Amino acid sequence: MSTQLDEARLGRLTTAIRMAAIAEKCRPGIVRAEIASGRAVLPANPAHKNLRPAVVGRAFRTKVNANIGFSTEQSSCPREIKKLSVALAAGADFIMDLSVGKNTAGLRRTMLANCPVPFGTVPIYEAVCRTGGAVESFDPDVLLRVIAEQAEQGVDFMTLHAGILKEHIPLAMKRRAGIVSRGGAILAAWMNRHRKQNPLFTRWEEVLEICKAHDVTVSLGDGLRPGCLADASDAAQFAELETLGKLVRQCRKRGVQVMVEGPGHVPFNEIRMNMEREQKACQGAPFYVLGPVVTDVAPGYDHISSAIGATAAATYGASLLCYVTPAEHLGLPSEDEVHEGVIAFRIAAHAADVARGLKNARNWDDAMTEARINFDWERQFQLAMDGGKARARFRKIAGKKTKSLDHCSMCGAEFCAMRISQKISLARKKPGRQ
């Protein structure tokens, strides 16, 4: 396997590689080899001083990203900082700031100072805000400056929609839902107005120079991801994917780490095909997927409909899952909805790790089983993905008497199958039993 990152650049990542290896409970050499091959990425901008690095790739635990950030109509810097702490407390492995509006740079500075996990952005949002907010009129030179400034500030990875091209727009306009990616729509509007090619695509070498200088990982955005089941796996989506594959090769040639973002709404039976097609088109680059959402009719519950898709996606090829909250398709998420989204996607990620036989993934489940058969309630709460919720729900009925309680209110003492099973086991162990 040819080396995608040279020894000098891998050397700069030595400390981050060692820290990621400790978190993954594996040898640093494994992390190093996966990054060198391009099958994994380790977003670690040296300017992000309090970073706890995390590696993304199929050889490692599936990671979860949480999107936060204010809109032009709702929220504020203090509230988004609160959401950051909520997402981290719930176990998010990555954070992205998707803010649009005023003072995005100030919010990002505060977030970076308080974010110990890899931190990502979508630079075109700030570029549009700086040039008056008219999406068709942003200045490509401003976009390049924003990318450089965010890199200098410490952003670890950036979503860059360089794969959506002028010739893809007619394909997207045949869809029912059109273009649902915010970044993709902005670039399509710019190309349509100016009759020019995507400036990220035409100036890609300049972008890579910036990313290489600051060890920023490129996250190739899926500007033509499907926004409904009817548009999934269509010509527009796959035309962009082929372009993303070419951009992956350019990133690797220049020694820039790269991962690829994936589809949004996909019928469950098409998920495996999508994951495998991306792996082939993008030469095994880590896949970072939003959901996918497997049905269009569950607003208010899209953290569930997307977690179903995310489990399949991570089983068949994805390495990083972008969470979806109950607010998806409805509005900006609250703090509680951020918490629910992270937990739902941590469940999906872990279920997929178990399903694909990742080493030691099931140890957690086996420890929970041991606590359950022993009616060790406190141990169960400690092991639970959301222990606070589990404890609160249990005490709602049982109160605080957890040490001596050998059943729950579902079956009651007499009908508890686990108690009955234990009695059978004890009876069979009595002396004289044949």
Give per-residue pLDDT as tens, 284-330. Answer: 999 999 999 999 999 999 999 999 999 999 999 999 999 999 999 99
Decide: 69 and 327 in contact? Cβ < 8 Å: no
What are the boundaries of each domain within the chain? 7-355, 363-428
What are the tokens at 296?
């269009």
DSSP string across 178-243: ----HHHHHHHHHHHHHT---HHHHTHHHHHHHHHHHTPEEEE--TT--SSGGGTT-HHHHHHHHH
C-alpha closest to that of 290 among 275, 309, 304: 309
CA–CA separation, 257 and 248 (whole Å) = 9
Decide: 289 and 352 in contact? Cβ < 8 Å: no
For residue 422, CA distances in Å to 83, 356, 373, 414, 427 come to 45, 32, 9, 13, 9
φ and ψ of 121, to 5 deg: -145, 175
CA–CA separation, 412 and 270 (whole Å) = 43
Give per-residue pLDDT as tens, 207-223. Answer: 999 999 999 999 999 99
- CA–CA–CA angle 302, 306, 310 (5° rounding): 160
Report DSSP state, residue 135: G
Please name the residues in contact with 292: beta carbons below 8 A apart, sequence gap of 6 or more. 262, 263, 264, 265, 266, 271, 274, 306, 309, 310, 313
- What integer pLDDT is reported at residue 3 of this predicted model? 46
Give per-residue pLDDT as tens, 388-411. Answer: 999 999 988 877 666 668 888 788
Please name the residues in contact with 278: beta carbons below 8 A apart, sequence gap of 6 or more. 241, 260, 262, 287, 317
- What integer pLDDT is reported at residue 131 of this predicted model? 87
In DSSP terms, 24 is beta-bridged to none
Residue that is written with structure tokens 């994936």 in the block: 262
Decide: 277 and 305 in contact? Cβ < 8 Å: no
Rounded to 10 degrees, the C-alpha dihedral 185/168/277/220 comes to -40
- What integer pLDDT is reported at residue 2 of this predicted model? 42
φ and ψ of 367, to 5 deg: -65, -40
- What integer pLDDT is reported at residue 412 of this predicted model? 82
Domain 7-355 CATH class label: alpha beta
- What integer pLDDT is reported at residue 166 of this predicted model? 98
Name the pairing type of β-strands 287-290 and 63-68: unpaired
Residue that is written with structure tokens 């981290």 in the block: 88
**Helix and strand counts by DSSP (H, E) for the chain:** 19, 10
For residue 161, CA distances in Å to 98, 122, 301, 421 come to 14, 9, 28, 57
Name the pairing type of β-strands 157-160 and 217-220: parallel
CA–CA separation, 31 and 20 (whole Å) = 8
The parts of the chain modelled with pLDDT lower than 50 are: 1-3
CA–CA separation, 303 and 31 (whole Å) = 31
- What integer pLDDT is reported at residue 404 of this predicted model? 64
